[in-house]
Amino acid sequence: MYPLDIIQEQEQRIQSLEKELTELRQGLAAVQEYFLQIKARADEESVSAELNFGIVRPLKDDDAEFEGIWDFHQNLLVTDPAGTVPLDIMYDTYVQFCRRNKKTPVDKDAFEYLLPQMENPRPVIFRGKWQGCRFRK
């Protein structure tokens, strides 16, 4: 083989290798772009799940618990300045009301904190009893 033929053959091999390298770079760029899309999607789902479990779901649970107390207050209690209801009876009635209406009752401490926040009637705890209200007949 002549030196000129060897040079031409090597130039063709270099061109072929450069073409393969360009194709590999394009393939790598496509794979990187695909990976970044998958990663972005996974990040979005992760953030969405974190928001759902960390913020949205607890707020919904809080709303559901508050709805139970609110419904109990609206449906079963009336204002009566002379009315009294023992603490345990009020809470037990609330728990039964929640079960009948498929609501989740809050614990007794939360109940005793939230119920006095409501108006018409606005029950008050005094000497182991709820004062200022009674059960609807």
Residue 123 burial class via C-beta count within 10 angstroms: exposed 0-12, middle 13-18, buried 19 and up: buried
Q: Which domain holds residue 123?
A: 63-135
Given a cut of 60, whether residue 59 has pLDDT beyond it is: no
The pLDDT of residue 10 is 85
Note whether residue 51 is domain-resident. no
CATH number of the domain to which 126 belongs: 1.10.10.10
Range from 1-10, 24-33, 80-89 carrying the lowest mean pLDDT: 1-10
The pLDDT of residue 135 is 95
pLDDT in tens, 60-112: 555 666 788 888 989 999 999 999 999 999 999 999 999 999 888 888 998 99
Distance in angstroms (rounded) separating the CA atoms of residues 16 and 63? 68
Distance in angstroms (rounded) separating the CA atoms of residues 98 and 87? 17
Note whether residue 6 is domain-resident. no
Note whether residue 122 is domain-resident. yes
Note whether residue 94 is domain-resident. yes
Note whether residue 113 is domain-resident. yes
Note whether residue 78 is domain-resident. yes
* Structural domain count of the chain: 1
pLDDT in tens, 9-26: 888 888 888 888 888 888
Note whether residue 87 is domain-resident. yes
Note whether residue 68 is domain-resident. yes
Which band of pLDDT confidence, cut at 50, 70 and 90, is reported for residue 55? low
